[in-house]
Structure 1
Amino acid sequence: MSLPESRLPGPERSPGFLLWRVTLAWQRAMRAALAPHDLTHVQFVLLTTTWWLTRAGEPPTQRQLADQAGTDTMMTSQVVRKLADRGLLARADDPADARAKRLEVTPAGLELVAKALKDVEAADAEFFATADDGFVDALARLGP
C-alpha cells in the first residue's frame, strides 16, 4: 500500500484549504450581517445584483441576473420568486422575449438594499481589514 504524499508541509500552506477556511469564516460574518434584515446571503446577492444591473442599464432578465451572480438559473428563479412574494422584487414580461422576465427592485426592496448593503460592506471591511488592494486584485484575477 502506498502512503499519500503532498508537496505541501500541511494544510496551513494549501491555497485551496486556506480558501475553504476563509470562505467559511466569511460566510459566518455575512450571515450575521444579514440576519437583522431577514435575508439569506443568496437573497442579498440576487437582490443587490438586480439593483446594480438596473443602475447600469435596463432592468435585467432572470438569465442576466443568474449569469452576473454566477448562480444556477433554476435556483435563481426560486429565490427571485421568494423575493417577489416579499414585495422586494417585481417581475414583468420582457417585451422583446415572451419567455423572459425583467426584474426590478421595488421601493421596499431598495430600502432593504440600502440597509443591508451598509451592514454587509461594514462586515466586509472588518473581515478584510488586513488585506490590501493587491489581495482584491488577485481575487479578481482568479474569478470567472
Structure 2
Amino acid sequence: MPLTLTETLSRAGNPTESDGFRLWHRFLGWQRSLSASLLALGLTQPLFSVLAVIGWLTREGGAVTQQRIANVSGMDRMHISGLVRKLEAMGLVTRTPSQRDRRAVAVSLTPEGRDTLARAIPAAADHDAAFFASAPERSARR
C-alpha cells in the first residue's frame, strides 16, 4: 500500500508534533521579538549577531575577516558579506581589503559601531532573559 504524503514527509501527525518544526517556529518568534527590541538602534537580529561577533573577535585580537565571522556565527559566508555591507552602509563597520589575500576583507567596528553594540548587548540580554523565562518548553518538556 503506498504511503500518504504526510507519512512520507514526517512521522509526526502534524507540524506541532515535530520537534524540528517547533524549534524553527520558536526560533522565528525569538528572532522577530529580538529584532523588535533592537529596532530603536536600527538593528535586526541578524545585523546584531554579526555586529556582536565582530565585537567578540575584535576583543580576541587578530584580523577580523568575513570568513572568521562566518566560522564563529555558523552563517553562510555570502549572507555574512551582505550583512557586513549593510553594517558598513550604516556606518557601524569599515571593510578593508587584505593586502595579503585579495579574497579576504578585514572588518572593524567604527566608533559608532562600538557605541551601538554597547547599547545593543544589554537590550538583547534583557530581551533573552524575558523571552526564555516565559518559554513553554521549560515546563512542557522537562
- Pick the TM interval, shorter chain: 0.7 to 0.9
Identify the residue that residue 121 of structure 2 maps to in structure 1. Answer: 117
Q: Does 1:96 align with 2:92?
A: no
The 3 A distance-change label for structure 1 pair 8 and 56 is same
- In the alignment, what sits opposite 1:59? 63
2:115 aligned with 1:108, yes or no? no
Could you tell me the percent identity over the aligned residues? 39
1:50 is aligned to: 54
Q: Deviations over 1:1-31 (max 9, x none)?
A: 6444465565444211221221122122112
Which of 28, 37, 43 is the equivalent residue of 2:41? 37
Q: Unaligned 5+ residue runs, structure 1?
A: 136-144
Q: Distance in 1 between matches of 2:85 and 2:11?
A: 47
1:69 maps to: 73
Q: Is the 8 A contact 1:91 1:104 kept in 2?
A: yes
CA gap of 1:104–1:8, structure 2 versus 1, over 3 A, is: same
The Cα shift of 1:119 comes to 0.7
Secondary structure of 2:84's match?
helix
* CA spacing shift, 1:116–1:2, aligned 2, 3 Å: same
Alpha-carbon distance between aligned partners in 2 of 1:8 and 1:71, rounded to the nearest angstrom: 28
With 115-124 and 78-87 compared, the bigger mean Cα shift is at 78-87
Unpaired runs of at least 5, structure 2 = none
The CA RMSD over aligned residues, in Å, is 2.3
The answer to whether the 8 A contact 1:33-1:116 is kept is no
1:27 to 28, 31, 45: 31
Indicate the SS of the match to 1:96: coil
Cα separation, 2, equivalents of 1:116 and 1:124 = 12
Task: Quote how far apart the aligned CAs of 1:98 are.
Answer: 3.5
